[in-house]
Amino acid sequence: MIRPILSAVSIGMLAMASQVSAQDVETGAELFQHYCATCHGIDATGHGPMAGVLVIQPIDLTKLAGEDGVFPTARVVARIDGRDPLVSHGSPMPVYGPYFDGQDTSMKTHEGQPILTSQPIVDLVAYLETLQGN
């Protein structure tokens, strides 16, 4: 009895993971300006108007790919959705975390690993990836 249930759950998870969402960079840019630029700056270099009051200074989001040029998709998603919390202003980042909840979808890392997340995060990550090397 348990095997059929586990098989059904596994098939459902594979189906969900195979539905990789389309990325909307323009929507991601709008989300960034609305939710992230206050701390990370309009140019995403970490010099937003609130940066001065944060315990941990925002990083330069244009250099996430590093010297190897590989964008750390899984790490970025985990930081945004709270799986990898960062306490920078008395509470875990992101301040707007609940906005990014829901609308379950998935995206893939550069290695092809699926990540279950939400559509706003998919769009925001797509935008952040376009900023690399700026």
| Per-domain boundaries in the chain | 2-130
State the pTM of this model: 0.76
pLDDT at 91: 61
pLDDT of residue 94: 63
What angle is formed at CA 17 by the lines to CA 16 and CA 21, rounded to 5 degrees? Answer: 90
- Which pLDDT value is given to residue 16? 45
The pLDDT, as a whole number, for residue 88 is: 61
In the prediction, which pLDDT does 90 show?
Answer: 58
Domain 2-130 belongs in CATH node 1.10.1740: no
The answer to whether 114 and 76 are in contact (CB under 8 A) is no
Predicted local distance difference test score (pLDDT) of residue 61: 96
- Residue 33 is predicted with a pLDDT of 96
Model pLDDT, residue 134: 66
pLDDT at 123: 94
Amino acid type, 109: T
**pLDDT block averages, 10 residues each, the chain of length 134:** 45 45 88 94 96 88 92 92 71 68 81 90 95 86
Residue 16: which H helix or E strand, with range? helix 2-18
In this predicted structure, what is the pLDDT of residue 130?
96
The residues that bridge with 20 in the sheet, in sequence order, are: 106
Q: Which residue has the tokens 């306490």?
A: 87
Measured in whole angstroms, how far is the alpha carbon of residue 127 from the centre of its chain? 10
